[in-house]
Amino acid sequence: MQKKQKINILVTGATGFIGSHLCEELVKKKYNVFGLSSLNNFQNIKSLLRQKKIHLLRGDIRNLNFLKKIIKKHQIKTIFHLAAVLPGKNDLDNPFLLFEVNAKGTLNLLNAAYLTGVKKFIYASSSSVYSEPAQYLPVDENHPTRPSTIYGISKLEGELYCNSYSKAMNITILRYCGAYGKGQDSHYATYRFINQALNNEPITIYGDGRQTSDFTYINDIVQGTILAMEKNKPGIYNISSGKETSIIDLAQKIIKLTDSKSKIILSKKNTNRPFRFFLDISKAHKLLGYSPLSLKEGLSRYISDIKN
């Protein structure tokens, strides 16, 4: 019996928070993974590199000729596009970098994929493409897309480029929301609250704490992303917990799970998201079989990771 040939997969943004977790899971599933990164910090995939289970490529998605060369050389048939400049405190300070990487970089990659015969393209978008505050809740994939930030605009531009190439290859767009987990930057609320709770320090919340969001455990983000490839049902999907959680409820859950003596302090400093927000994931559940963990289970695993 002839042995089934491994699929060569390219993951852009392979050393990032979500990208590194995705690479790790793809390797576990025995896929042949090529990780692309422009960064010098390989901490997130150090274990994979040490075990020689990933092929790391250094380069920039703004270089079209480079992209065509590596895709052709390594016979890539599936691309997970996660490389992006993330939102900063003020996107207006550097809007052109967001455009160059998130929008034009996506167009470069799509064009390179088209010219080299790639079959599947999974684009990591964001819930930031939706209008904020939401016009209705929960926010489904048909909700108006009128982003209020340069970051959200740049991700929506990427989606529009994906739409234009959708007749040439199978393209799936995933709108992530509120990812948290091992390897997350320290300025995110989930990480900050857990560390403060573990040290019995006060937990500061901006505003009245009633603003809500959709917090999604990193393993669920990865699960939904891989399902998008394996189920092969192109389209746009929300990938999140699908549950609404207030910031004050998040802090209280973390205090309880860590058995902490921390007290919650409400700051008069304004929050940058003073509204309710969460996604409808029924489409991903029905068509992809996506089923995320509860917030309690996700937080428990994350707390265990931080402790260890």
Both tokens of 9, joined, read: 């997969």
Where the chain has pLDDT below 50, the residues are 1-3
Both tokens of 139, joined, read: 């926010």
Question: For 48-117, where are the E strands, in sequence order?
Answer: 55-58, 78-81
Both tokens of 105, joined, read: 């970089």
**Residues identified as active-site:** 151
DSSP assignment letter at 127: G
pLDDT at position 5, please? 63
Based on its alpha-carbon atoms, the radius of gyration of the chain, rounded to whole angstroms, reads: 19
pLDDT at position 1, please? 41
The rounded distance, in Å, linking the Cα atoms of 147 and 127 is 9
Q: Which amino acid is at 272?
A: N
Q: What architecture (CATH level 2) is domain 8-176?
A: 3-Layer(aba) Sandwich (3.40)
Domain boundaries defined on the chain:
8-176
Q: Which of 196, 188, 203, 194 is nearest to 273 (CA)?
A: 188
The rounded distance, in Å, linking the Cα atoms of 228 and 174 is 8
pLDDT at position 138, please? 98
